[in-house]
Amino acid sequence: MNEIIKIEELKRTFIVGAENVHALKGISFSIRQGEFVSIMGASGSGKSTLLNILGCLDTPTSGEYMIDGVKVSMQSRNQLSVLRNRKIGFVFQSYNLLARTTALENVELPLLYNHTISTKERHERAMSALVSVGLESRMYHMPNQLSGGQQQRVAIARALVNDPVIVLADEATGNLDTRTSYEIMSLFQELHAKGKTIAFVTHEADIAAFTDRTILLRDGYIIKDEPIEKQFAKKALELLPISEEP
Amino acid sequence: MNLFNLIKIAVRALLRNKGRTLLTMLGIIIGIASVIAMVSLGQSSTISVTEELSSMGSNMIMVSPARQMRGGVNLGRTNARSLDKKDLQTIRQNAKYVDKISPLVTTAAQLIVGGRNHPGSIQGVNPEYLDIRKYELENGAMFTEDDIKRYSKVCVIGKTVVDNLFPDGENPLGKTIRFGAIPMKVVGVLKSKGQNQMGQDQDDVVFVPYTTVQKRFMAITYFNMLFVSAVSESESELAATEITYILRHNHNIKEGTEDDFDIRTQEELLTTINSITKMLTLLLAAIASISLVVGGIGIMNIMYVTVTERTKEIGLRMSIGAQQRDILIQFLSESVILSLLGGIIGIMLGLLLSFGLSKVLNWPFIVSEGAILISFLVCAATGIFFGWYPAKRAANLDPINALRYE
């Protein structure tokens, strides 16, 4: 299968005052098309730095990062914007939806920055993205009229609308209760089943358990990278005590 | 991102803080409103002055003796004796572009009727003076050429004089007014003309045959002034040239020597007054535009606040693919719309203000398209100029830090 993401000897050093802080000390891995990877690690392990680089928000100090065949370290700031716009879908912990803007318009947002897409196509794609996350009845709701889980679904729809080569989720269940977290994970598993490539950053082992493969970071190194026995979120949901039902 | 979407996003952001938006626009509104009002009022005052002057007779020409110098002492005009009967006659006979001509001999006397009196400014003139100065009669008739030949003791009086000497509404016609010791018969009453532009009461006048003033009051043979009307307004300069030529000839003034008289046409006066009002208008507009700068700084200030407040939104937009240019344009369009909206409200307010003031001052109401257009452009420029730095700051934010901003 195609390698969507290919990282070789990646290093990222920050200069803080007079000190050099080595956040990533030389890591290598690849993510192939259709994989569902979780990236785990405690705080300070370098996983945020890795996510920023994977998301083309940051460039490595040295080493190689290729996304969908494009060398990221060679790109200018504007070119990085285009890469993010066309190849990456972000899902954040705090949803990051625009207030007082309908779900539909929030989902349309990435396509607004793509001049090749007409207004009509933008609407259609945003609508079908919302349908695919099960929010067809909430298209014209404002974020403050939606529950946390629904807001995260809107954010996922926004990440899918540009048909990215990879969806990057940053603690996407961090603000949600267990049941809603499992529902969101179940949605991710559905998307994965439809062929989406997903990288899921988390520090919760039970969330990582819903993925196919875990990359574990510690102190800027990968200390474990292996496939895991995937659990199904739907089953986990059924096992949850009924009392948690609202 | 297309224009429609940009405007939609900007308007939505501005509507989110309606009170703040309005307060920010206030600076621009006041600035533009005062510029529009100043320019519009300046123009209507110019027009009102012009109208006033033409009502005095725009083809009027005034000839007065030049100031006399004797041994380096300026004796002023009053002692000048250069204009006399010969000048009057030769101009009347020879000048083609002159329509009417009247001498003016002035004196002052206390006017007395019974127990009342009034300080009268007496103007010795001929019957043509009424036409030259655009006076009309309300009652009776103007004295005649015959009266002038016979030094008749008759007078035509203005409304203010009537009100002071005959306050009980009696008809002054045929009554006798004592001018100091000399009794004069009232033969005519003038229609009221009101004040002129300089605030002088044009109704506080007494017209008397000029020969009567010369002979009975002052015992002189010269005139204080000559009032002339040209055939038409456009020919007043030609008429002035003719009069200059005739007077120089009459007074035996050699070439290279200065005139011993002054000629002023209404046209000159108009030009002077217009240039003064134009300067005042410019000055006022300049002062008003200072408030525009202050308004612009207000916009800049609030745009900085907006950028800081929306750092997280900027981070999100960047993370999903907004380029620096997109962010720059987004915030720039917000500040431009803010100032343009303020400008439009300011223009309307300014027009309303100048409409109200011109009604109160009884001036014509002028809409200056030029000022409106310039205001509009200035607003757009203000929005861009003062919005640029905040927008640039937004565009230069680091996406990672912006996303993490709380």
Contacts by residues B169-174 (CB-CB < 8 Å, ≥ 24 positions apart): B171/B139, B173/B139, B173/B140
**pLDDT band, very low/low/confident/very high, at A11 (cuts 50, 70, 90):** very high
Judging by DSSP bridges, how do beta strands B116-125 and B206-209 pair with one another? parallel
Max mean pLDDT among B44-58, B250-264, B331-345 falls in B331-345
Kindly tell me if the per-residue pLDDT of A136 is higher than 60: yes
Range with the poorest average pLDDT among A70-74, B49-53, B254-258:
B49-53
Q: Which residue has the higher pLDDT, A209 or B200?
A: A209
Distance from the A86 Cα atom to the nearest Cα atom in chain B, whole angstroms: 8
Whose structure tokens read 């011109």? B358
**Residue of chain A nearest B399, judged by CA positions:** A57
Q: Where a domain ends, among B199, B224, B259?
A: B259
Yes or no: say if A100 and B17 are a contact pair by the CB < 8 Å rule.
no
* Residue of B11, B309, B316 to mutate for A, most A C-beta atoms under 10 A: B316
Specify the pLDDT at position B105: 92
CB contact under 8 A, B400 and A52: yes
pLDDT at A245 over 60: no
Asked whether residue B226 falls in the same domain as residue B336, the answer is no
Percent of chain B with pLDDT over 90: 36
Residue B84: what pLDDT?
86
Give the tens place of pLDDT for each residue, B14-38: 888 899 999 999 989 998 998 888 8
List of chain A residues whose C-beta atoms are within 8 Å of the C-beta of residue B402: none
Residues of chain A positioned with their CB less than 8 A from the CB of B318: 57, 81, 84
Report the distance separating Cα B95 and Cα B246, nearest Å.
8
- Of all helices (H) and strands (E), which one includes residue B41? helix B18-55
Model confidence band, residue B273 (pLDDT cutoffs 50, 70, 90)? confident
The answer as to whether A18 is a domain residue is: no
The pLDDT value given to residue B77? 56
User: Domain boundary residue among B232, B259, B286?
Assistant: B259
Task: Indicate whether B67 belongs to any domain.
Answer: no
Taking residue B6's Cβ as centre, other Cβ atoms within 10 Å add up to 18
Taking the C-alpha atoms of residue B270 and residue B276, their distance in angstroms, rounded to an integer, is 10
A 10 A CB-CB count for B47 gives 17
| Contact flag A110-B321 (C-beta cutoff 8 Å) | yes
Domain shared by B139 and B33, yes or no: no
- How many angstroms separate the CA of residue B398 from the nearest CA in chain A? 9
Nearest to B243 by CA among B66, B77, B97: B97
Does residue B202 belong to any structural domain of this protein? Answer: yes
Residues A182, A184, A187, CA angle at the centre, nearest 5°? 110
3-state secondary structure of B84: coil
Identify the DSSP state of B197: T
* pLDDT in the model for residue B78: 53
Question: Could you give the maximum distance between any two Cα atoms of chain A, in Å?
Answer: 55
Residues of B with Cβ-Cβ distance to A112 under 8 angstroms: 1, 5
Q: Is residue B149's pLDDT more than 70? A: yes
Does A191 fall in a domain?
Answer: yes
Pair B290, B326 in one domain: yes
Mean pLDDT of A15-42: 92
Q: Inspect the interface and report whether the beta carbons of A90 and B319 lie closer than 8 Å.
A: yes
Residue B76 covered by a domain: no
Is A158 within 8 Å of chain B by CB?
yes
pLDDT of residue A137: 94
Per-residue pLDDT tens digits for B295-306: 889 999 999 999
The pLDDT, as a whole number, for residue B50 is 76
Q: How far is B400 from chain A (nearest CA, A)?
A: 6
Q: What is the pLDDT of residue B76?
A: 60
Q: Which domain holds residue B136?
A: 81-259
| A166-170, B24-28, B131-135, B186-190: least confident range | B131-135
Name the residue among A78, A90, A115 with its Cβ closest to that of B320: A90
Instruction: Give, for B88, the enclosing helix (H) or strand (E).
Output: helix B85-94
Contact: A81, B313; criterion CB under 8 Å: no
pLDDT in tens, A167-194: 999 999 989 999 999 999 999 999 999 9
Q: Write out chain A in H/E/C secondary structure.
A: CCEEEEEEEEEEEEEECCEEEEEEEEEEEEEECCCEEEEEECCCCCHHHHHHHHCCCCCCCEEEEEECCEEHHHCCHHHHHHHHHHHEEEECCCCCCCCCCCHHHHHHHHHHCCCCCCHHHHHHHHHHHHHHCCCCCCCCCCHHHCCHHHHHHHHHHHHHCCCCCEEEEECCCCCCCHHHHHHHHHHHHHHHHCCCCEEEEECCHHHHCCCCEEEEEECCEEEEEEECCCCCHHHHHHHCCHHHCC
Inter-chain contact A85–B313, Cβ cutoff 8 Å?
no
CATH of the domain at A238: 3.40.50.300
What pLDDT is attached to residue B70?
A: 62
Model confidence over B299-345: pLDDT tens digits? 999 999 999 999 999 999 999 999 999 999 999 999 999 999 999 99
- Do B140 and B197 belong to one domain? yes
Interface of B with A (CB under 8 A): 1, 5, 12, 16, 312-313, 315-326, 399-400, 403
How much is the average pLDDT of B160-173? 89
Contacts of B217 (CB under 8 A, 6+ apart): B107, B109, B122, B124, B179, B182
* Assigned domain for A21 exists: no
Domain count for chain B, please give it.
2
Which of A81, A115, A158 lies closest to B318 in CB terms?
A: A81
Other C-beta atoms within 10 Å of B149: how many? 10
Better-scored residue on pLDDT, B57 or B60: B60
* A130 lies in some domain: yes
Nearest-CB residue to A113 (from B12, B322, B403): B322
- Count contacts between A and B (CB, < 8 Å): 58
pLDDT of residue B362: 81
Stronger pLDDT, A117 or B3, i.e. the higher one:
A117
Give the residue-averaged pLDDT of A20-34.
Answer: 93
Measure A118 CA to nearest chain B CA, in Å: 10
Q: Looking at the complex, report in whole angstroms how far the Cα of residue B316 sits from the nearest Cα belonging to chain A.
A: 7
Interface membership of A188 toward B (CB under 8 Å): no
Q: Do B323 and A81 count as a contact with CB atoms less than 8 A apart?
A: yes
Does B134 lie in the same domain as B109? yes
Q: In sequence order, what E strands does B126-181 have?
A: 137-140, 154-157, 176-179
With respect to residue B64, please indicate whether it lies within any of the assigned structural domains. Answer: no
Q: Is residue A29 part of a domain?
A: no
Q: State how far the Cα of B355 lies from the Cα of A101, in Å rounded to an integer.
A: 42
Q: Are residues B113 and B170 in contact, defined by beta-carbon separation less than 8 angstroms?
A: no
| pLDDT computed for residue B236 by the predictor | 83
Note the helical H segments in B170-226.
210-212
**B1–A113 C-beta distance less than 8 A:** yes
Poorest-pLDDT segment among A212-216, B172-176, B193-197, B362-366:
B193-197
Q: Which helix (H) or strand (E) holds B209?
A: strand B206-209
Q: Do the chains contact at B403 and A92, CB–CB below 8 Å?
A: yes
Asked if this assembly's ipTM is beyond 0.90, the reply is: yes
Supply the pLDDT for residue B378: 87
In the block, which residue shows the tokens 């504007």?
A78
- Report the domain count for chain A: 1
Residue B401: DSSP 8-state: H
Answer yes or no: do B118 and B186 share one domain: yes
- B70 is a domain residue: no
Question: Which A-chain residues 42-71 have CB contacts (< 8 A) with chain B?
Answer: 52, 55, 57-58
* Residue A139 structural domain: 34-57+76-244
B325 contacts in A (CB within 8 Å)?
78
**Which of A14, A16, A56, A57 best probes binding to B when mutated, by most B CB atoms within 10 angstroms?**
A57
B254 and B276 belong to one structural domain: no
Within-domain flag for A193: yes
Query: Do residue A109 and residue B1 have CB atoms under 8 angstroms apart?
Result: no
B171 in a structural domain? yes
- Enumerate the residues of chain B whose CB falls inside 8 A of the CB of residue A120: none
Contacts of B324 in chain A (CB under 8 A): 77-78, 81
Position B198 confidence tier, pLDDT thresholds 50, 70, 90: low
**What pLDDT is recorded for position B127?**
92
Average pLDDT over residues B114-130: 90
Q: B72 lies in a domain?
A: no
Interface test with A, best of B12, B18, B310, B320 (most A CBs within 10 A): B320
To the nearest whole Å, the CA of A231 is away from the closest chain B CA by 31
In a domain, A1, yes or no: no
Question: What's the pLDDT at B284?
Answer: 80
Q: pLDDT value at position B79?
A: 55
Which pLDDT value is given to residue B57?
67
Quick one: CA dihedral A138, A140, A142, A143, positive or negative? positive
CB-CB under 8 Å, A84 with B321:
yes
Pairing, β B60-65 against β B225-230: antiparallel
Residue B55 pLDDT more than 80? no
Output the pLDDT for position B16: 86
Q: Please judge whether A57 and B403 are an interchain contact, meaning their C-beta atoms are less than 8 angstroms apart.
A: yes
State whether B94 and B165 are in the same domain: yes
Q: Please check whether residue A112 touches B, CB under 8 A.
A: yes
Do B187 and B215 fall within a single domain? yes
- Computed over every residue of chain B, the mean pLDDT equals 87
Q: Cβ of A84 and B16 within 8 Å?
A: no
Please name the member of B1, B325, B399 whose beta carbon is closest to the beta carbon of A112.
B1
Give the residue among A214, A239, A238 at the shortest CA–CA distance from A227.
A214
